[in-house]
Structure 1
């Protein structure tokens, strides 16, 4: 949709508001690559039900391409230098970072980290940098304002579906859908206008 708007009207937004359905890694990566700030909740399934350390408890060291655990140990994707570049880190797809087994076995925090595994491993998504950008934006005051604006827009769509009965479009084709939606939006605006402007009071004759 953003591409069509850009091609037709030449408009490029500086930021975008959406719900969690648009918080996937590829979607966030697409927005960040085009310098569009994503005010979108991130789809994050890194939580662990057993109460052990999650991925957010580990610090990402981008310079050395590794994670650092709370105890200060490194989790690396590769621990050797490959002469063939195709065998080394490519930066595409998922990457798995592992700690050394000997390090985890003697670590005092092993019950909090990996009680049922010999060593801790963390999976990093391809668009994790973009996901982190969205997480950082979620901590700002602008994000709170964006969520309030999103609620106002979504309430209008909910009103169209529940009150005006626009659960589905009955006219076929883009033109029919455009006409039907335009009529529904007009009816919605007239209802709002009737609440804002009071009706003239009739003067009764004595």
Structure 2
């Protein structure tokens, strides 16, 4: 006989929220390692001492972490899920009767107190410190890379020049863009800057990218990762331009030194980081670069190179006298350099009677360009054949898998916030959530994570 459920209301219920969250649940494991006791003290200077009590900042941080742990990017939906899910309520310390804040509260806090205080950065950095102290991560061998993440910008709402952007009655993202132009760090030496092809009217800080099919506006998610553990040591948001990736890596390496007093021993990256100025910057800081060197010098050098038949490799550089020696033994003297390029020019007296002149140059003298960073380029090139270098290149692939997890598993394939600061906050939360998952698995390997 088919049974039928009959609802019978009880007068009293004995219910404990603590018992409804399984031992192996992800949030229970995360809660065991997450320490947010510093939040109130950190945020105290940014709140008034009078007036009505506001929403607890620790509650908002916990709710944001729930959203990034479970791929809930919409803050409206996040509030609905926290209100209904018992495990979320337990993690956020809301109990059964606690009131979930309105989704608009996050917007006000994000553009106000959270941004002014750098709270999200502080949460991330303290978690990294916890990983370093516990031996879960180190800076012995790190990988650096960047990945494009689509911006919240319509590709058809664009202008050709930034001067066409409105200054009066502009959106928040446009105002932040104009305010940030004067604060932008100088470009790296050896990186040629060209005017952007398109400028977004809704998010002008994003860069036009055609890396993955049709043109879209995007930001660069740049990260430093410990290759042994997969822990993210730092993240930095930048426009999705190839030339901004080395600059972002310098910012992150310097921040590791200032915040944690540590510098990587070995740094591996792809060929986009193999320019002479960047390799020299790493060497000056005692960091061993395992990066494939860009084979050719800058386009600037190739444009100025003569149409001679003898290649540049046929000439020998003399570091003692800072000159170049041709195959016939004549010296080419250094002239005034241009940027990172030094030009060496032969004497007409040497070239006129030279027996191989016709195969060397069609002019009266031969000119040879040499990078100011040729010594460090050769140093890294000699390292490429070593087994440790090849092993580093294989370990570098782990950061590619990390980007795949953040985009597809964690749902950060497209940004919701606009502006460079908004992109940076989303990257910080995504990295914090990813590190929490790594720590939860590393510290409690005995049982699989549920939830």
1:9 paired with 2:260, answer yes
Which residue among 374, 399, 408 is the counterpart of 1:128? 374
CA distance, structure 1, for counterparts of residue 379 and residue 258 of structure 2: 27
1:67 paired with 2:324, answer yes
Q: TM-score, normalised by structure 1?
A: 0.68
SS in 2 for 1:132: helix
Q: Is the 8 A contact 1:160 1:188 kept in 2?
A: no
CA distance, structure 1, for counterparts of residue 439 and residue 358 of structure 2: 60
Residue number in structure 1 paired with 2:293: 42
Q: Is the 8 A contact 2:317 2:324 kept in 1?
A: yes
SS in 2 for 1:32: helix
In structure 2, do the counterparts of structure 1 residues 93 and 2 end up closer, same or farther at CA, with 3 Å as the change threshold?
A: same
- How far 1:36 moved relative to its partner? 1.5
Residue number in structure 2 paired with 1:55: 312
CA distance, structure 1, for counterparts of residue 395 and residue 308 of structure 2: 35
Unaligned runs of 5+ in 1: 79-88, 191-196, 199-206
Show the 5 A alignment for 1:1-206.
Answer: 1-46=252-297, 52-77=309-334, 93-114=340-361, 116-158=362-404, 160-161=406-407, 166-170=412-416, 172=422, 174-183=424-433
Report the more deviating stretch, 44-53 or 143-152.
44-53
- How far 1:117 moved relative to its partner? 2.6
CA distance, structure 1, for counterparts of residue 402 and residue 359 of structure 2: 46
In structure 2, do the counterparts of structure 1 residues 167 and 49 end up closer, same or farther at CA, with 3 Å as the change threshold?
A: farther
Q: What is the number of residues matched between the two proteins?
A: 181
Q: Is the 8 A contact 2:306 2:367 kept in 1?
A: no
Unaligned runs of 5+ in 2: 1-251, 441-446
Residue number in structure 1 paired with 2:192: none
Aligned CA RMSD, in angstroms, stands at 3.6
In structure 2, do the counterparts of structure 1 residues 97 and 173 end up closer, same or farther at CA, with 3 Å as the change threshold?
A: closer
Q: Is the 8 A contact 2:290 2:389 kept in 1?
A: yes
Q: TM-score, normalised by structure 2?
A: 0.34
- How far 1:160 moved relative to its partner? 4.0
In structure 2, do the counterparts of structure 1 residues 159 and 55 end up closer, same or farther at CA, with 3 Å as the change threshold?
A: farther
SS in 2 for 1:63: coil
Report the more deviating stretch, 67-76 or 40-49.
40-49
SS in 1 for 2:396: helix
CA distance, structure 2, for counterparts of residue 107 and residue 128 of structure 1: 28
Q: Is the 8 A contact 1:29 1:130 kept in 2?
A: yes
- How far 1:120 moved relative to its partner? 1.4
- How far 1:51 moved relative to its partner? 8.6
SS in 2 for 1:38: strand
SS in 2 for 1:16: strand
